[in-house]
A and B are shown apart, each in its own frame.
Chain A
Amino acid sequence: MADLIGADLATRTLPLSGFHGGSGAASLSVAKPATRISLRAKPDAVSALSGALGLSLPVKAKTSASSNGRHALWLGPDEWLVIDENGADLMAAVASSNVLHSATDISHRNTALIVKGHGADVAINGGCPQDLSLAAFPVGACSRTVLAKAEIVLLRTAEDTFRVECWRSFSPYVSTLLAEAAEDAGN
């Protein structure tokens, strides 16, 4: 171990590290690292898992629940994406529920971009076919969908702010495409 003192230890580089972009209409920034799990469970386990996570898992399509930097996003009838922006150990949290479920740690599979500005919806619609008007996609709405050729998960955190979750290997594609679309959104 003594040999390691003073050595250059490996440092983790986040995907999109240092990326910034966008336009006056829609600014792009990289979301802070977060822990994430892909959670699957049958309806009879939902209440116990909700208690273990400290928020009620949404059971209605396209809805999410948020509490203290922790978000649970409905992806499918038995599938949720849970994100904790404070880096809490979500695997331990769901394991304490003692009900049958399937949880996979995907903290490092995904990365996220924050799209913010009055043209944020226009920028995302540059590659995403969903209706992002406030009537169809209100604050708190979430959906797995596509951004051109990449799969993304959208979460509207405010009227003018979206969180765009994508796989880390897709992040150069997603960020470049959003940067182009954000330029167009300003015109």
Chain B
Amino acid sequence: MLLIYCPYCEEERSELEFRQAGDAHIARPTNMTEMTDEDFEAFFFLRDNVKGLTFERWRHLNGCGRFFNAARDTVSDKFLTTYKAGLPRPDLGTLRPATEATVETYEATESDAK
């Protein structure tokens, strides 16, 4: 079970209390009526499906109920950090682990399991 740090409750809680809520830092355009269809599509539908570091919104649904942002590694499922909604992306230079070495792949962890 994953433990996720809620920046509002200020402690780690079980993943069972949380829901993922899509990508973070997507600014809603102020000129929707003037946008081209392509621009609107890009804002509304198109999302990256990155392997590795991603910024996501999460909601502490069965807790304080608040949305917050998280930086998560999609390969290892590791939460690098969480921060309150509305704050800018944190500087991950210090947070991000050396990826290849720390990512837990099946080959690295299970392939020689007895």
Measuring CB to CB, which residues of chain A are less than 8 angstroms from any residue of chain B? 61-62, 75-77, 79, 129-130, 143-146, 151
* Contact call A146/B64, Cβ cutoff below 8 A: no
Interface residues on B, range: 10 to 19
Pick the contact of A143: B1, B16, B63 (CB < 8 A): B63
Where chain A touches its partner, the secondary structure class is: strand
27 residue pairs bridging A and B, Cβ less than 8 Å apart: A61-B9, A61-B11, A61-B64, A75-B64, A75-B65, A76-B8, A76-B66, A77-B64, A77-B66, A79-B64, A129-B1, A129-B13, A129-B14, A129-B16, A129-B17, A130-B13, A130-B14, A143-B63, A144-B62, A144-B64, A144-B65, A145-B13, A145-B17, A145-B63, A146-B16, A146-B17, A146-B62
In the bound assembly, the distance between CA atoms of A102 and B66 in angstroms comes to: 17
In the bound assembly, the distance between CA atoms of A77 and B68 in angstroms comes to: 13
In the complex, what residues of B have CB within 8 A of residue A75's CB?
Answer: 64-65
Question: What is the distance, in angstroms, from A150's C-beta to the closest C-beta of chain B?
Answer: 9
In the complex, what residues of A have CB within 8 A of residue B1's CB?
Answer: 129
Measuring CB to CB, which residues of chain B are less than 8 angstroms from any residue of chain A? 1, 8-11, 13-14, 16-17, 62-66
In the bound assembly, the distance between CA atoms of A144 and B6 in angstroms comes to: 13
In the bound assembly, the distance between CA atoms of A102 and B62 in angstroms comes to: 20
- Select from chain A the residue with minimum beta-carbon distance to B60: A76
* Contact call B62/A151, Cβ cutoff below 8 A: yes
In the bound assembly, the distance between CA atoms of A143 and B10 in angstroms comes to: 13
In the complex, what residues of B have CB within 8 A of residue A130's CB?
Answer: 13-14
Contacts A61-B8, A146-B17: A76 and B65 contacting too (C-beta < 8 A)?
Answer: yes
In the complex, what residues of B have CB within 8 A of residue A76's CB?
Answer: 8, 63-66
In the bound assembly, the distance between CA atoms of A185 and B96 in angstroms comes to: 42
Question: What is the distance, in angstroms, from B106's C-beta to the closest C-beta of chain A?
Answer: 27
In the complex, what residues of B have CB within 8 A of residue A146's CB?
Answer: 16-17, 62
